[in-house]
Structure 1
Amino acid sequence: MGMTMTQKVLAAHAGLDEVKAGQLIMAELDLVLGNDVTSPVAINEFNKAGFDSVFDTQKVTMVMDHFTPNKDIKSAENAKQCRDFCSGYCIRHFYDVGDMGIEHALLPEKGLVAPGDCVIGADSHTCTYGALGAFSTGVGSTDMCAGMATGKAWFKVPSAIKFNITGELPKYSSAKDVILHIIGMIGVDGALYKSMEFSGDGLKNLTMEDRLCIANMAIEAGAKNGIFAVDDVTRAYCAGRVDREFTVFEADADAEYDAVYDIDLGEIKPTVAFPHLPENARTFDDMPEVKIDQVVIGSCTNGRIEDIRAAAEILKDRHIAQNVRCIVIPATQAVYLQAMKEGLLEIFINAGCAVSTPTCGPCLGGHMGILAKGERAVATTNRNFVGRMGHPESEVYLASPYVAAASAVTGRISQPQDLVDEV
């Protein structure tokens, strides 16, 4: 029996001709990632174990993004610990305030991940890099510690689910709607410890930003990783970013999958995940009126330039509703600068929005937009668990930048078509 994309990547990094689902392997790592929340724990363990060097100063990276700019003394101390560690061990890829971004938007942008790579990160949304045809997965801080020291990690080889993508997205439907549709279909445990593998003729109609969004939320279906077949879109994205040779792995024709799903992009409608799970997906064919207090447009899921443009398209020459707060967070400094050059920040400010420096901020209930008891937010983030963005009796509704921006204008969950029809 043949191997899936993920199994081929893992076999190559384990130095094996083949691997099978359920097999335990030790794999060589191309990149080890931590942030300002998870790295301090790994650093403490690193010191406790008596390690005196990292395996490769070019292949360890830390990004200060969760509580930055620092919101309190503890977050400042965490960032300082990371800063001192990276300085002391001459770690090349350390990103701090002013030169940072939300980690899972920043690392692909910087060219630190390439097709065929094997990546671990002490953050669950490390699965984002599968958009580039890499195997990437989230791990705990102790695994991050071991990875920094040895350049290796243990894995149980996952089985896989295949998603055959066809068609093209309609106007105002987006990659966020695709992944919410899929999670609504298979559930938050529908891909538990499996690889979600995306291929098919329709991939050519998905940009790299689309793929990064979809792969980012693979973990919300319980997946070990998400991974996209490498094509011309991937190669074009890597050109000028990735400065090293890389290997493209393709699934064998006789690869075994636990399930195969056909996804026609042309049938995807604007979708909203209701509290308190990403699987609670609804389209506007079945949408009650839900008044909102806040909108957040950003995160590692939807803070890239295409997302910012989509929100600006809806908000141009419009103003957000009274008593609604709208916070726009470009995912990286490069996205922020591009948005400024295109006049998008002016659109947001004229619409009554607040524009923030890159940060994870409100996504995890950190800062820059915490919800009070009883408040509701539409967010382009990836999780809407109880208390995710603040008070345990607040509510988060997950949506695309199009839907989030339209909702900010109307003060209730709305689709862009509602505004177009009003005109």
Structure 2
Amino acid sequence: MKKRPMTLAEKILATKLNRPYVEPGELVEISVDLTLANDITGPLAIKVFEKTGINKVFDPKKIVLVMDHFTPNKDIKSAEQVRVCREFARKYGILHYYEGGRCGIEHALLPEIGLVGPGDIVIGADSHTCTYGALGAFATGVGSTDLAGAWITGKTWFKVPETIKFIYYGKPKPWITGKDLILYTIGDIGVDGALYKAMEFTGEAIKNLSMAERFTMSNMAIEAGGKVGLIEPDKKNLSYIKNRLKREALILKADKKAKYADIKEYDVSKLDLVVALPHLPSNVRFVKELPQKIYIDQVVIGSCTNGRLEDLAIAAKILKGRKVNPNVRCIIIPATPNVYYEAIKKDYLRIFIEAGAIVSPPTCGPCLGGHMGILAKGERAVATTNRNFIGRMGHPESEVYLAGPAVAAASAVLGYIAIPEELGLKEED
């Protein structure tokens, strides 16, 4: 079989299948390098697994269970969910079980502790598993039944996706981060604009993004319907995994003549800070162009999208010496124990507490309306999370506005959706 030019998604799948190429639309069965579940999706997969009567998993080192959604346990039901996962891990010798003080938000934790690397095939019973595409991994969410099947066979199946190439160029304005880039992109193509397609993020502006910002972009590929959100490994990527990944990485790049379903280009120098209004991540507006002040009741800075140290650094820069508006609850959630620890060392937590913010242990809590920040009827929140569907963070008549950490922190101080310039801050650094 003769090789042909391939996109990054096609290249990863073909290489892992030991084939010269794969075709978009083709169904392939492929071995997985890592599987993931949490305290909500894990028990469902465990129930399916145990019904089969199989008495061993395919590889206890390639299963990860992260108790991050409703933990620390918010009620009896959530405690029972965690117990099911804990007992499964003990029974089958699952090496990577994370709970309590070892536990962080799964999609921040796994890259941080070196469980995911370039070229990996990763499936997780959580839609934001696509986060690891920032490392150059083919990572995607699956249902709990498919996950249970992979626990038995070590394999899963995909339809090879077509790829849309997104090229970003130019130098961003102050305070603009990867969150603004991906929200603007989703606003442009819509929540189904990349349905079951690979999103390949490229261009000079992507190369200049930090790994934290890249994780944010790949994380929200699913908000455009994407199967995966991929970024080619480069020097920043390799530097990130250098002292984390304990095995050889598979470094792959798209071919220059690869065929794409579409190519989109964006000049990031023309972008301003954005916010996604209810009730879709695609309902994006520039904050400075909002027709009126939108007053808020809550701010959440955290999640698998924006709970990394760089996100907290931006929030700390804005909140330092200022106070959270008395009409606002500001909840800040470091994504992992390490992020929490580093934030202590850098004095961010003191800044947050002195400003009147609430600092939470790592949890997904408020993002999915679980705990640690539920909205009442009529309340509005600015959140650095990834979804703002009806009822996502609480009451179905509440509202969630998605933004990056700069807008979230400025809004916490002023009490309405705002940008740092309204506080007299002109430059990010």
SS of residue in 1 equivalent to 2:191: coil
- Per the alignment, residue 259 of structure 1 pairs with 262
Contact (CA 8 Å) 1:13, 1:29: kept in 2 or not?
no
2:230 corresponds to 1:227: yes
Normalized against structure 1, the TM-score is what?
0.98
2:329 corresponds to 1:325: yes
TM-superposed CA distance for 1:199, in Å, is 1.7
TM-superposed CA distance for 1:284, in Å, is 2.5
CA deviation profile, 1:8-41 (whole Å, cap 9, x unmatched): 1111223322111100000110000000000101
Distance 1:201 1:176 in 2: 17
Contact (CA 8 Å) 1:293, 1:325: kept in 2 or not?
yes
CA deviation profile, 1:358-395 (whole Å, cap 9, x unmatched): 00000000000000000000000000000000000000
Distance 2:57 2:426 in 1: 59
Aligned length: 423
* Structure 2 residue identity aligned to 1:319: K
Distance 2:389 2:287 in 1: 22
Q: 1:292 aligns with which of 296, 303, 318?
A: 296
Q: Percent identity?
A: 58
2:370 corresponds to 1:347: no
SS of residue in 2 equivalent to 1:98: helix
Contact (CA 8 Å) 2:288, 2:419: kept in 1 or not?
no
TM-superposed CA distance for 1:252, in Å, is 1.1
CA deviation profile, 1:13-70 (whole Å, cap 9, x unmatched): 2332211110000011000000000010100110001111111111110000000001
CA deviation profile, 1:280-322 (whole Å, cap 9, x unmatched): 0000242121000000000000000000111111000000111
TM-superposed CA distance for 1:421, in Å, is 6.1
TM-superposed CA distance for 1:164, in Å, is 1.4
Contact (CA 8 Å) 2:168, 2:267: kept in 1 or not?
yes
User: More displaced, 262-271 or 295-304?
Assistant: 262-271
Q: 2:151 aligns with which of 143, 148, 152?
A: 148
- Per the alignment, residue 76 of structure 1 pairs with 79
For structure 2, the residue ranges without an aligned partner over 5 or more in a row are none
SS of residue in 2 equivalent to 1:217: helix
Q: In structure 2, do the counterparts of structure 1 residues 285 and 355 end up closer, same or farther at CA, with 3 Å as the change threshold? A: closer
- Per the alignment, residue 378 of structure 1 pairs with 382
SS of residue in 1 equivalent to 2:102: coil
Contact (CA 8 Å) 1:366, 1:389: kept in 2 or not?
yes
TM-superposed CA distance for 1:263, in Å, is 2.2
Q: 2:392 aligns with which of 388, 392, 400?
A: 388
Matches within 5 A, 1:91-240: 91-240=94-243
SS of residue in 2 equivalent to 1:12: helix
CA RMSD for the aligned pairs? 1.2
* Structure 1 residue identity aligned to 2:370: G
SS of residue in 2 equivalent to 1:184: helix
Contact (CA 8 Å) 1:167, 1:205: kept in 2 or not?
no
CA deviation profile, 1:103-134 (whole Å, cap 9, x unmatched): 00000001100000010000000000000000
Q: 1:412 aligns with which of 416, 419, 424?
A: 416
* Structure 2 residue identity aligned to 1:73: I
User: More displaced, 9-18 or 60-69?
Assistant: 9-18
TM-superposed CA distance for 1:262, in Å, is 1.5
Distance 2:344 2:296 in 1: 28
Contact (CA 8 Å) 1:195, 1:224: kept in 2 or not?
yes
* Structure 2 residue identity aligned to 1:221: A
2:89 corresponds to 1:86: yes
